Amino acid sequence: MKPIFLKKINCYYLRRGRTHAVGHSSDKTYKPPPVLRSLENMMDEDCPKAEEQSLLLSMDTEASYPQPLTLLWRVIHCSCYLCGGISFFVGSMCYFPTMTEFVAGGWWFTVGSTGFFLADLLEWWTNNRVGCFMDDAYRRSFEKSQGPFLDDPMTLKGKYQRAENGLNFFVSLCGSTLYLIGSVDYIPSTNSLNQGTLLFIYGSAFIFCSQGWKLYRAGCTYEDTPSNRRFSFSNWQRDPPGIIVDFMSGLGGICYFVGSFLFLPRYDTDDFITWIGAWWFQVGGTAFFISSLAMFYRYFFTTNYPH
């Protein structure tokens, strides 16, 4: 069996050679010698097979969009997110003046940030990077389902529309990455508490901006008329658990943003400020925990996914 690319080249030149030879006038039909005629007949038999194999090869490299979120995928993703919500809820308690368990708090935050990071990475890589990053296998399917409602892909607006979802979820991933690094700095043995606090401020800003962006986009999504992009709160009614996931996560980001500022040395000058900062942390941890519970309910107790 000959390589497919050789068959295609041979098919092209042999079929081209049937009509006219170089140096002959256009009214004289070129007759190949017996050896070439034999080779030509053999290629006639192989060319359809080559074209069929090439078509199958291209079909194998394409994937459908969006890919279904299987039960296993949801279990892994929800477990990571639940780990983050629970760990931040417990870890925030360690920063009240009556406890001051900074070692335990740093480790709880590190475990929780790892869970959030893995959950955001998995969520971004599955479906949500399509249109933005390393999506060649999904491009045709994506354009077939979403392209009719978007601008020309060659225009700047069209490119942004295709990349918007991926960029939105990537901002969430950046936030959880900053949380992870900052959490490690919160472990007293690293002697980087101030740096960890700053990273928590930056990470929190990424998170509440990302979640606010998701809520806005959810309000602009119409199932019956996808081309309509006007914001409406009524669109939130289509998926209340999903709205709770994003809203509570964004609220958690705001709380840790404010609390982290209060824990900076220039502001944390007495126990009263420490109490206020710890309460902001605790409210933020509670919001993250509620967000993870809403995700658990959405994945396993609604009709949004096959069970």
Percent of the chain with pLDDT over 90: 69
Place of tokens 């609604």: 302
Per-residue model confidence as pLDDT tens digits over 193-230? 999 999 999 999 999 999 999 999 999 998 888 888 89
Residue 157: pLDDT over 90: yes
Q: From CA 229, how far away is CA 240, in angstroms rounded?
A: 20
Ramachandran assignment for 175, one of left (phi > 0), alpha (psi -120 to 50 degrees), beta (any other): alpha
Q: What contacts 156, CB < 8 A, 6 or more positions away?
A: none
Per-residue model confidence as pLDDT tens digits over 7-61? 444 444 434 444 444 444 444 455 555 554 554 555 555 555 555 554 444 444 5
- pLDDT attached to residue 92: 97
- The residue ranges of every structural domain in the chain are 4-60, 71-300
Residue 282: pLDDT over 60: yes
- pLDDT attached to residue 100: 87
pLDDT band for 284, please (50, 70, 90 cuts).
very high
pLDDT: which is higher, 20 or 262: 262
Per-residue model confidence as pLDDT tens digits over 99-136? 989 999 999 999 999 999 999 999 999 999 999 898 88
SS3 248: helix
Mean pLDDT of 68-88: 97
- pLDDT attached to residue 31: 57
Q: pTM for the full model?
A: 0.78
Mapped to the 3 state alphabet, what secondary structure does 38-83 carry?
HHHHHHHHHHHHHHHHHHHHHHHCCCCCCCCCCHHHHHHHHHHHHH
- pLDDT attached to residue 257: 98
Percent of the chain with pLDDT over 70: 79
- pLDDT attached to residue 80: 98
Closest to 268 in 3D by CA, of 197, 179, 201? 197
* Length of the chain counted residue by residue: 307
Residue 253: pLDDT over 70: yes
- pLDDT attached to residue 271: 93
- pLDDT attached to residue 12: 43
